């Protein structure tokens, strides 16, 4: 006996009919909502399509109440970003806003029975993003794990300051090609990053150039340290007395 599925949430694109929504845009939209809901385990899937504009009923084997609660947090994030906006939401909001603009529509998300509804218009997200995202020059140092993929101008690096891998865009194919010769080396990626100012989480990074960092033996590190100022202690006749005076 086939288990009957019920909708967990409905996503409606107001102002556009389903047949005018490209399949790629629909896939991206569902993935973005999935990310915002933080639904773990199997992905949410499409249960039904209604023609009251393009209305997509989504279902999931996970706890529907928890999914609705997470989406409610995202609605709060746009109303009170100082309190509720989180770094994990940014990419999904970027994606949704891009789709809304391309289809010239706005989005509604509601719970079963329309007991709760959230509406997102085209111009809401960019104003919030501008307040909480900062773009600046930056450097990433870590182990190069991958170059290429669906787009050749991408790379992946593991950095010591966070557990997750960082996925970067690469400015041009020539830099990407040269990077591909240094897989699993320690590299220094230079470019521009977008940072979330609430916690300074790195959201995205575009590589313009790089250098390969060569490991050094201990004696070279020691020599570099002395050249940087460590050898100045050689000119102090009584280091203990000198430190005592500094106190």
- Inside any domain, residue 230: no
Could you tell me if 141 and 72 lie in one domain?
A: no
Could you tell me if 87 and 162 lie in one domain?
A: no
First to last CA, the chain: 81
- Inside any domain, residue 2: no
Note the pLDDT of residue 1.
46
What is the C-alpha separation between 179 and 183, in angstroms, rounded? Answer: 7
Could you tell me if 46 and 85 lie in one domain?
A: yes
Task: For residue range 87-118, list pLDDT tens digits in order.
Answer: 999 999 999 999 999 999 999 999 988 889 99
Could you tell me if 83 and 142 lie in one domain?
A: no
- Inside any domain, residue 238: no
Q: Where are the beta strands (DSSP E) in the chain?
A: 9-14, 45-50, 54-59, 106-110, 117-120, 133-147, 154-158, 166-170, 186-196, 201-212
CB-CB contact of 47 with 57 (8 Å)? yes
Could you tell me if 67 and 159 lie in one domain?
A: no
Could you tell me if 60 and 79 lie in one domain?
A: yes
Last residue of one domain, picked from the residues 81, 97, 122: 122
What is the C-alpha separation between 182 and 209, in angstroms, rounded? Answer: 13
- Inside any domain, residue 138: yes
Q: Which two tokens stand for residue 175?
A: 């830099």
- Inside any domain, residue 226: no
Last residue of one domain, picked from the residues 122, 153, 173: 122
Last residue of one domain, picked from the residues 58, 92, 122: 122
- Inside any domain, residue 239: no
Total domains in the fold of the chain: 2
Could you tell me if 109 and 153 lie in one domain?
A: no
Could you tell me if 103 and 142 lie in one domain?
A: no
**DSSP per-residue string spanning 22-58:** -HHHHHHHHHHHHHHHT--SSPPEEEEEETTTEEEEE
Task: For residue range 208-245, list pLDDT tens digits in order.
Answer: 999 998 765 666 656 666 665 555 656 666 766 655 66
Could you tell me if 174 and 78 lie in one domain?
A: no
| CATH number for the domain harbouring residue 193 | 2.40.50.140
Could you tell me if 154 and 117 lie in one domain?
A: no
* Total H helices, total E strands in the chain: 8, 10
Could you tell me if 107 and 138 lie in one domain?
A: no
State the pTM of this model. 0.75
Could you tell me if 80 and 138 lie in one domain?
A: no
Residue numbers of the domain that contains 204: 133-212
Task: For residue range 8-67, list pLDDT tens digits in order.
Answer: 999 999 999 999 999 999 999 999 999 998 755 557 889 999 988 899 999 988 888 889
């Amino acid at each position: 006996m086939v288990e009957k599925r019920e909708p967990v949430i409905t996503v409606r694109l107001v102002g556009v009919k389903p047949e005018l929504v490209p399949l790629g845009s629909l896939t991206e939209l569902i993935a973005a909502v999935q990310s915002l809901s933080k639904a773990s385990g199997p992905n949410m899937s499409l249960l039904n399509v209604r023609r009251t504009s393009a209305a997509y009923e989504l279902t999931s084997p996970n706890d529907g109440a928890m999914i609705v609660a997470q989406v409610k947090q995202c609605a709060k994030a746009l109303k009170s970003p100082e309190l509720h906006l989180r770094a994990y939401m940014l990419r999904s909001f970027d994606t949704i806003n891009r789709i809304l603009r391309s289809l010239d529509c706005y989005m509604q998300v509601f719970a079963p029975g329309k007991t709760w509804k959230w509406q997102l218009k085209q111009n809401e997200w960019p104003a919030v993003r501008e307040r909480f995202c900062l773009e600046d020059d930056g450097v990433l140092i870590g182990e190069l794990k991958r170059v290429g993929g669906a787009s050749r101008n991408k790379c992946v690096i593991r950095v010591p300051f966070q557990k997750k891998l960082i996925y970067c865009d690469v400015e041009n194919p020539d830099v990407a090609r040269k990077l591909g010769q240094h897989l699993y080396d320690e590299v220094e990626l230079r470019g521009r990053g977008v940072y979330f100012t609430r916690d300074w989480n790195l959201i995205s990074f575009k590589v313009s150039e790089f250098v390969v960092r060569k490991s050094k033996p201990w004696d070279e590190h020691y020599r570099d340290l002395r050249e940087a100022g460590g050898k100045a202690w050689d000119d102090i006749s009584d280091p203990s007395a000198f430190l005592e005076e500094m106190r």
